[in-house]
Structure 1
Amino acid sequence: MDVTVVVPTVGGPHLTEQLAALAAQTRPPAQVVVVNNGLPGAADATVAAWRAQLPQLELVEDRRETTPGYARNVGAERARHPGILFVDDDDVVDPGYVAAMGAALDESELVAARVDLERLNPPALTSRWGSMQADGPMTYHDFLPWSISAALGVRSEVFRKIGGFDGTYPICEDTDFSWRAQLDAGARLSFVPDATISYRLRTRPGQAFRQARVWASWEVALHKRYRSRGLTTSGNPVRALLRWGRPVLLLVRARRREDLVVAARQLGSCVGRAEGTVRHRHLHL
C-alpha cells in the first residue's frame, strides 16, 4: 500500500536525522508531509536541505493549535494515499520501515511498529526504563491495545471515519486514537515486528519529570472518558502510596544522572496523577 508519512515538528535539532532515514528507505514513501507546529520558519532550512533527496517532501505550517495531535491532523489532511504513517521528528526509522508498515496496512486497518530504545539512548537509562512496544502493542491500561503515535500507521478511511486525533489532548492522544479506531471503526490493530523505529528518551531529569507529569495527568482524563466503555479505573490507595515511595528511594540512592532521570520520571507520574484527579474530577490512584 502506498503511504503518506506525517512528521509533526517544532523545528527540533533531530529532524534532519529522521528525514535522512526516510530518504534511505528500501521502498520510499509516496509522500512526506512535515508539519511545523512551532515558530514560523523553524523547519524551513532543514526541509530545504532534503528536498533533492526527498522530492515528495512537503512542508506546511500551522499554529492554530499547538498540540501534536492537531499537527498530525493537519498533515493527514494533505495525505493523498490510502495509508498514513505517523512518526516523530526526534526518532529514526529503520530502512525497511515504510515497506513493512505499508505491507501490513494491506492486511490490517491499524498497525503498530516495533520500538527500539537501545540505539539512541544511554544503556544505563534503557536498562532502567522498561519495555516499550518492543514485542507487541502497548497494553498497560489493561484495556484495548494501542500504539504510541511515533510508531503508528492507519488506513486513511479509518482516520477520517473517526475524525483523526483529539487535538485537545496534549498527550495520550495516541491511546485515545487507537481505542476509537477499534471501538468506533472496527479496526484491527496489528503489530509489525519487521518495522522498527528507534525512539529517543528524555535524558534530563527536568524533561523526564515534565513529560511524565503531563502524561499521567491526561491518563486520568483518558480513564474518565473510557470507563463507560469497559475501562476499569484503578483506585488502590496502598499501591498509590508505594508509587510515591519509589522515586524518593531512588533519589536517596542516586549515584549518576540516569538514576535522577528515572526518579524524576516516576515522581512526575505521581504528581501528574494527583493533578489529573483534581483537574478532571476523576479518582485514578
Structure 2
Amino acid sequence: MMLIPDAHLRVLADGRVLIGFAPLRVLRLSPSAARLTTRWLAGGPVGADPAHQELARRLVTAGLAHPCHAHTRWGPQDVTVVIPVRDEPHGVRALRDALHGRHPVLVVDDGSAEPLPGAAARHPAPLGPAAARNTGVLSVTTALVAFLDADVTPGPGWLEPLLAHFEDPRVAAVAPRVRSRPGRSPLARYERARSPLDLGAAPAEVGPGARVGYLPSAALLVRTSVLRELGGFDERMRFGEDVDLIWRLTAAGHRVRYEPASEVLHRPRPNWPALLRQRFGYGTSAGPLARRHGRAVAHARLSPVTAAAWTAGFVGRPRTALALAGVDAALLARELVPAGVPARAALRLAVRGQSAVGRMLADAALRAWWPVALPALLTGRRGRVAVALVLLARLRGRPWALDPMTWCAAGLADDLAYGAGVWWGALRARTAVPLLPDLSTRPRGNDGRRTGFGPQGVRR
C-alpha cells in the first residue's frame, strides 16, 4: 500500500505536525514516525510491520492521507450486482448492457405495474428500495455485493478502483462518484453542478462529521457478510436508508471509503417539480435519522463560544463578537501551540475556522433553518444584505452555460424544498434534533465515540 497526501494537508515542524481540515485535525508525530510519514507521503510504500500499518491507518482515518493499493486479489467474479427497480425496464436493460456480463446480476422487481422479465425476485406490491435491496442480498453468494440503481450507468473501469480498498479488511463499504449525466437543458446543467449524489472529486474517509458524511446507495459496494450482520438496510425508511447504513457501519467500527477515481452517471430528474419532490423527500429523512443517530444529523457544528461570537455579530454587537472570536482563537491556540503549531499559523487557522463557520451557518440558514431564519433575516437591512451576499457567493459554483438568475432561483428552490422536508420529517418523528446546531466542543468521530477534539474541532 502507498499513501497519497490529502489535497489540504499541511506539514509543519519538519514533518512532526500534520494538519488536516473538515474537520480541523492536528496529529503530532514522534521523530521516527515523522521520518516514516515523510517517506510515505513522498511515494514510498508502507511496509508490513504492524506498527507501520497502524500509523498509516491513523493517517488515513484522520483524512490526512488516502490509501493506494497497487494490486488487489479481488475481481469481478467476487461481485454480485443487485438492481432494485420499479417500472423501469429500459433502465435495467441499459444497465445490464453497461455491465457487459462481467458479474452475476440480480434484478429485484419492487412491485412494478407490469412484471419485469428476468427478475430474480418480485414483490407483489411496492415495499421501497431498502426492502428490494435486502431481498436481493438473500440470494447473493459472492463476498461483495454492488447496489446499482436502474437510472445509473457505470463508466469504463468503474469497479477496479473500488475493489482495491477491500485489501484493507477493516473496509466494509466503498462508493464511486455519482455524477449527473450531462445535458443541454437548464435542469440537466444544474444537476450536473449541484446534485446531492455527487460528493466531489476528492477521495475521503466517510462518517458522521467528516467532509464526506454519507454515501448514496445509487451506487455502493459492500461486504456481503458485514451487511448481513447488520441486518441490511432499514426497510422502515423510504429516504435516508443509505445514510443510516453508512453510520451504522462506522458505529460498529468498520471503515467506509469514498473513491471518485471510479465514476457512474446518474439520470437527472425529468422536470423541476420532480427535482423538488426528490429534495423534499431527502429532507424528510432527517427526523428518522435523528431518532437513530442523534446529533449526527445536525446541519451546523460549532463550539458554544463560536456560536456566541456569530450571534453577537448578527444582533449588532461587533465589539462583543470580536472579543468572543479572540477568546475562541486563544482556546484554539492553547490546543495547537503545545502540539507544535507556530502561534502565527494557529492564528491563521483560527481565522480560517471562523470563515468556514460563517459559510456553514449561511448554508444552514437557507436550507434546514429557513422557515425560522429567512423571516428573521428579511425583516432587517443587515439580514437582507447577508442573504444577498450568500446568494452572490454561490455564483462561484455556477456552470458557465447557466445564467445567474436561473442558477440562483434553482438553488434557492432546491434549498427551500429540502428545508421544508427537514421540518416535516422532524415533526413526524417528534424530534427537534435536526433543527438544532450541535454545540458540542468534542464532536463525534467516525466510530461514533467522542474524540479528543478541541474547541473548533481540533484532533490531537
User: Is the TM-score greater than 0.5?
Assistant: yes
Q: Cα–Cα, structure 1 residues 153 and 204, in superposed 2: closer, same or farther, change >3 Å?
A: same
Match of 2:292 among 225, 237, 247: 225
> Are residue 277 (structure 1) and residue 340 (structure 2) matched?
no
- C-alpha root-mean-square deviation of aligned residues, in Å? 3.3
Higher relative contact order (CA 8 A, sep 6+): 1
Q: How much does 1:261 deviate?
A: 5.2
* Corresponding residue for residue 62 of structure 1: 123
CA contact (8 A) 1:208 1:268 kept: no
Indicate if the aligned counterparts of 1:22 and 1:95 stay in contact, CA closer than 8 A. no
Q: What is the letter of the counterpart of residue 217 of structure 1?
A: T
Aligned to 1:36: 109
1:72 to 2:152 alignment: no
Aligned pairs for 1:78-157 (under 5 A) are 78-107=139-168, 108-119=171-182, 122-129=188-195, 132-135=198-201, 136=203, 142=209, 145-157=213-225
SS at match of 1:146: coil
- Secondary structure of 1:145 counterpart: coil
**Structure 1 residues 164 and 125: alpha-carbon distance in aligned structure 2, compared to 1, 3 A threshold:** closer
With over 3 angstroms needed to count, the CA separation of the structure-2 counterparts of 1:218 and 1:63, relative to structure 1, is farther
| Aligned 1:109-258 pairs, distance under 5 A | 109-119=172-182, 122-129=188-195, 132-135=198-201, 136=203, 142=209, 145-184=213-252, 186-227=253-294, 231=296, 233-234=298-299, 239=365, 240-241=369-370, 242=373
Distance 1:180 1:169, change over 3 A: same
- Could you say which residue in structure 2 is the equivalent of 1:51? none
SS of the equivalent of 1:4 reads strand
Q: Is the Cα contact below 8 Å between 1:113 and 1:152 reproduced in 2?
A: yes
Aligned 8 A contact 2:283 2:422 in 1: yes
Distance 1:133 1:83 in 2: 23
231-240 vs 98-107, greater mean Cα deviation: 231-240
How far off is 1:281 after superposition?
0.8
- Give the conservation status (yes or no) of the 8 Å contact 1:83–1:102: no
Query: 1:265: how far off?
Result: 2.7
Contact 1:105-1:153 within 8 A present in 2 as well = no
SS in 2 for 1:193: strand
Question: How far apart are 1:217 and its partner, in Å?
Answer: 1.2
Any stretches of 5+ residues in structure 2 without a counterpart? 1-73, 301-360, 379-386, 392-402, 436-460
| 1:23 and 2:100 are equivalent in the alignment | yes
Percent of paired sites with the same residue: 24
Partner SS state of residue 107, structure 2: strand
CA contact (8 A) 1:35 1:71 kept: yes
SS in structure 1 opposite 2:237? coil
| Contact 1:105-1:154 at 8 Å conserved across structures | no
The 3 A distance-change label for structure 1 pair 225 and 32 is same
Give 3-state SS (helix, strand or coil) of 2:142's partner.
coil
For structure 1, the residue ranges without an aligned partner over 5 or more in a row are: 48-57
- Mapped to 2, the partners of 1:131 and 1:66 lie a distance apart of 23
Task: Give the secondary-structure state (helix, strand or coil) at the position aligned to 1:191.
Answer: strand
Partner of 2:91: 14
* TM-score w.r.t. length of structure 2: 0.50
* Change beyond 3 A, Cα 1:255–1:146: closer
Provide closer, same or farther for how the CA distance between residues 232 and 33 of structure 1 changes in structure 2, counting only shifts above 3 A.
Answer: closer
Q: Structure 1 stretch 66-75 or stretch 192-201: which is displaced more?
A: 192-201
Mark the CA change 1:214 to 1:243 in structure 2 (over 3 Å): closer, same or farther: farther
Q: Tell me if structure 2 keeps the 8 A contact 1:4–1:33.
A: yes
TM-aligned CA distance change 1:137 to 1:145, over 3 Å: farther
Residue 254 of structure 1 and its aligned partner are, at CA, apart by: 8.9
Which shows bigger deviation, 135-144 or 7-16? 135-144
> Which structure has the greater CA radius of gyration?
2
Contact 1:125 1:262 in 2 (8 A): no
CA contact (8 A) 1:18 1:92 kept: yes
- Structure 1 length-normalised TM: 0.78
